[in-house]
Every structure is written in C-alpha cells, then in structure tokens.
C-alpha cells in the first residue's frame, strides 16, 4: 500500500465559546495518535440534537444543570464513520484502511463496576466526543484503540454514522421496554432522527407501533417506516386515540423528544403494567408531573438510557446491515452544518442529516 499523506492542518467546524457562532477553520491542527491510539480520516458524520444543544449552551446534566465542563474550542460530532490512516504505538493488531465508527463515548476505564458489567457508557471516568474531546466535525480524529468501534467491511459509511448515536439510543430505549411481538408500542416524536429509528427497531422486535408526531409529511413518513398507526397530536388528542386503538392502552411508550408534556402524555397512554422509556432529554430540571398513586396502582415502570454499550451498538449496526432497519438520511456537504442547525431548530427534518466530510 502506498504511503498515506496526512496533512498538518485540516478543516474543522467549531465554536470558540459556548453560545458562540459556528465557524469553519481551515488551519485546525491534525492530531497525532499517541500510545494505543489511531488516527482516522472522517468520511461522514450525522448531526445530532445534542451537538446543537452543546454549541448553544443548553445541554444539561443528570441534575438538570447546564454542562459546563466542555473543551474549547468546541468541535462537535459524535456519530461518524471513517478509516484508519495512522497507528500509534501499541496498535499492532489494527490495520490501515479499517472502517471505524466515531461514537458519543470516547474512552472508558474498563475497570469499574459499570465497565465490568457491560454498561460502560456509565463509567464514572468516561470521556466523550461531545464535551471532552474533539468530535467528527473535522477531517481527522484520534480514537482510543482499546475502545474502538470496528465496523464490518460491508458497512455503508454514508448510512452508519447516525446508527452509532441516534440508532443506538433508540434501539436501547426499545430494548428497555421488554416489548414482545404483538404488543403495542407508542413512539412519541416518530418522525425525527431518534423517532424514525425507534419505529423500525420496535418493528424489528415484532411490536405493533403507533407513531405520534405532527404534519402531513410526518404522517406519510412514519407510516412509510412501517408504523401501524399515526396520530397527529395537533389534530387529535393523542392519549384518548391511543386508548381507542389499543383498547386498554399501550404496553410501552418510547419518548424521543425533550418535552415534559410529551412524557406526561406518554405515561397516560400506558395500560396497567406498561413501561415508559425515555430517550429525549428536556432542558433544565423538567419533571414528570404525574401522581405517584397512578404509578403505583397501575404498576407502571420507567426506564431511561444513555446511548448504549459497545455490544448493543454492534447489535444495532447489524440490524441495519441485514436490512431490518433502514436509516432515512439526506447527505449534505460538510460546510452546510450551520444551515442544518437552523433546520433542526425549526423541526424541518425527517430522519437524519449526514454531512460528507471526506472522500
């Protein structure tokens, strides 16, 4: 193989301060891989709501407080695909040219209780590509070789990026409901990046799916994904309609939007013993405003999740590779990121936007 030319500088999309304007810099340094690190050339990256919230300073932690420990300048992007172009010391088992994923979690300790029990995304020493390390809104990225997402050779790099964050989050949210074939599952925000994955992963589990969103284009889109029913919440009161469709209420609901009202309504959609699985994160310290008596007397269950483990990530990837889940993406040039953010704020996007960063 001919030597790969690696430049000293690259193009990166960044903000110099949280809440600042997005800018493209063509003189951003290309990092060098250190011990047990690889350098990957980024090919494609999805754009996540978390990227937008972090840039704007509206991302919150588990207590509802703004996240302030953010590397500056901030280079976002955490659902990408690229190929290894250089190996640091200690990476002898890896090969140049290998297709790899760039995920939200960047490094874990591999020693704590969470790491040892397969939920390493909760590692207390974990770092991520959103707040602590530069993400894939740049042409080259350094990755931890000991926590590398190696993708099968037949993986389509255009499609797979959003699966590594939105897809994984939706897949895990569906898994957490313990849904069974023939059960009713509601996806709130079914036409969005998270929601369109949740519809398909639920169908892959054999669920009967009700999509909740608004607008004629969303109706056609969600039903086209395989949803059995669609409810336009702007035209129809969704709780009563879910009960009309299901009889006793849904067995489970997955909420993919950051709205406290949506969580409360989803709770009311559930039958006795139903499960509410949260994936969308509201701003601030929004609370689920439903009586404790309702939760106890109806035997309701609640679950949340932070993306998923590497094992679950590869499960989500394989369902895409084998055609059970088909990400709906639109590929745009890297330099259209600012316009994409504006469209996300307006809610104008069906599925997921993918930016082409490299060739």
Going residue by residue through the chain (359 aa), what tens digit of pLDDT does each one get? 567 899 999 999 999 999 999 999 999 999 999 999 999 999 999 999 999 999 998 888 888 898 888 999 999 999 999 999 999 999 988 999 999 999 999 999 999 999 999 999 999 999 999 999 999 999 999 999 999 999 999 999 999 999 999 999 999 999 999 999 999 999 999 999 999 999 999 999 999 999 999 988 999 999 999 999 999 999 999 999 999 999 999 999 999 999 999 999 999 999 999 999 999 988 888 888 889 999 999 999 999 988 999 999 999 999 999 999 999 999 999 999 999 999 998 887 888 999 999 98
**Residues ≥6 apart with Cβ < 8 Å to 291:** none
CATH 3.40.50.720 in the chain is located at 167-304
Residue 25: both structure tokens together: 């810099």
pTM score: 0.95
CATH number of 167-304: 3.40.50.720
- Residues 11, 141: Cα–Cα separation, whole Å: 12
Angle at 199 between CA 198 and CA 203, to 5 degrees: 110
Question: How far does CA 251 lie from the centroid of its chain?
Answer: 24
Q: Could you give the angle at which helices 193-204 and 216-224 cross, rounded to 10 degrees? A: 30
CATH 3.90.180.10 in the chain is located at 9-164+308-356
- Residues 194, 24: Cα–Cα separation, whole Å: 27
Closest Cα to residue 279, out of 270, 291, 266?
266
Closest Cα to residue 187, out of 158, 235, 221?
221
Out of 3.30.70.1150, 3.90.180.10, 2.30.30.90, 3.30.465.10, which CATH number does the structure's domain 9-164+308-356 have? 3.90.180.10
* Residue 147 exposure: Cα atoms within 13 Å on the Cβ side: 24
- Residues 227, 213: Cα–Cα separation, whole Å: 12
Contact 344, 54 (CB under 8 A): no
- Which of 300-324 are b and which e, b meaning 16 or more Cβ less than 10 Å from the residue's Cβ? bbebebbbbbbebbbbbbebbbeee
């Amino acid at each position: 193989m001919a030597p790969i030319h690696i430049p000293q500088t690259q193009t990166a999309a960044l903000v110099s301060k949280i809440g600042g304007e997005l800018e493209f810099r063509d003189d951003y340094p290309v990092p060098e891989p250190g011990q047990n690190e690889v350098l990957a050339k980024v090919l494609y990256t999805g754009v996540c709501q978390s990227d937008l919230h972090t840039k704007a300073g509206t991302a919150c932690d588990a207590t509802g407080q703004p996240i302030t420990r953010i590397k500056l300048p901030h280079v976002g992007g955490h659902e990408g695909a690229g190929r290894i172009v250089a190996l640091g010391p200690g990476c002898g088992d890896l090969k140049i040219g290998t297709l790899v994923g760039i995920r939200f979690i960047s490094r874990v300790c591999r020693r704590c209780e969470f790491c040892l029990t397969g939920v390493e995304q909760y590692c207390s020493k974990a770092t991520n590509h959103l707040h602590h390390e530069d993400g894939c809104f740049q042409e080259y990225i350094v990755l931890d070789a000991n926590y590398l997402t190696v993708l099968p050779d037949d993986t389509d790099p255009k499609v797979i990026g959003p699966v590594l964050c939105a897809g994984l989050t939706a897949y895990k949210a569906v898994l957490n409901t313990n849904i069974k074939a023939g059960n009713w599952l509601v996806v709130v925000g079914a036409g969005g990046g998270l929601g369109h994955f949740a519809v398909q992963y639920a169908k892959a589990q054999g669920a009967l799916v009700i999509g909740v969103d608004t607008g004629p284009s969303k109706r056609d889109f969600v039903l086209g994904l395989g949803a059995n029913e669609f409810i336009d919440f702007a035209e129809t009161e969704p709780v009563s309609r879910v009960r009309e469709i299901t009889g006793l209420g849904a067995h489970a609901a997955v909420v993919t939007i950051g709205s406290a009202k949506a969580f409360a309504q989803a709770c009311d959609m559930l039958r006795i013993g139903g499960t509410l699985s949260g994936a969308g994160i509201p701003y601030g310290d929004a609370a689920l405003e439903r009586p404790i008596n309702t939760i106890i007397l109806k035997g309701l269950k609640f679950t949340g999740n932070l993306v998923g483990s590497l094992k679950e990530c590869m499960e989500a990837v394989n369902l895409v590779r084998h055609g059970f889940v088909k990400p709906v993406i639109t590929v745009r040039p890297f330099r259209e990121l600012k316009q994409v953010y504006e469209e996300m704020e307006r809610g104008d996007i069906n599925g997921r936007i993918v930016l082409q960063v490299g060739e």
